[in-house]
Amino acid sequence: MRYLLDTGVWLWSLMAPERIREEARLILADGTREAFLSAASSFEISLKWALGKLPLPEPPARYIPDRMAALGIEPMPVTHAHALDVSELPRYHTDPFDRLLISQARVENMVILTADRAFRLYPVKILWCGQ
């Protein structure tokens, strides 16, 4: 099984792992599982950091790839198929980053690790990470 990390879950895994349910923490700690971070998440983190809304110990250009490598997280590019699938989603969730992550998980047949309740409204496999 391949796993796509929601941006918030990935940040929690670095800054507050106790917020993530044990099952998800074990998947993230298991180097044999295929876990991915979307380029959309890197974009979201970079924007929030540049706006001063997300403090990080170093700029995203170093922070994100260094932490991905340390955790064995693989990059997930955004493709046209991912972007176009967003138009097929009902408007339950209005955040464009989250909608793109949902589409990526759908198109790639991945399980998305999330603590966002709105994701449950979509036809996508979810591993609930919230408490």
At residue 48's C-alpha, the angle toward residues 94 and 107, to 5°, is 45
Q: Hey, what are 129's tokens?
A: 């990470």
Q: How many CB atoms lie within 10 A of CB 127?
A: 18
Topology adopted by domain 2-128: Rossmann fold (3.40.50)
45-102 tens-digit pLDDT: 999 999 999 999 999 999 999 999 998 999 999 999 999 999 999 999 899 999 999 9
* pLDDT value at 31 more than 80: no
Rounded-to-integer distance, Cα 63 and Cα 67, Å: 6
Where would I find the H helices in the chain?
Answer: 7-15, 22-29, 39-50, 60-71, 80-85, 96-108
Task: State the pLDDT confidence band at 28, using cuts at 50, 70 and 90.
Answer: confident
13: pLDDT confidence band, cut at 50, 70 and 90? Answer: very high
